[in-house]
Amino acid sequence: MKSITTQMAKSVSTRMIKLYIQGKSLC
């Protein structure tokens, strides 16, 4: 259970970072 939660959190954080970088490059 713990590993699954960690994996989900990691994927979400990486996705947020990617979106943040994309938005920064656009602006």
pLDDT at 1: 65
Q: If you search the block for the tokens 């259970």, which residue do you land on?
A: 1
- Number of compact structural domains in the chain: 1
Least Cα distance to 14 among 22, 4, 26 occurs for: 22
Distances (CA, A) of 24 to 3, 9, 18: 31, 22, 10
Query: Does residue 27 register a pLDDT over 80?
Result: no
Q: What is the span of the domain harbouring residue 9?
A: 1-27
pLDDT at 23 over 80: yes
Verdict on whether the full-model pTM lies above 0.75 = no
7-22 residue pLDDT tens: 999 999 999 999 999 9
* Confidence (pLDDT) at 25: 84
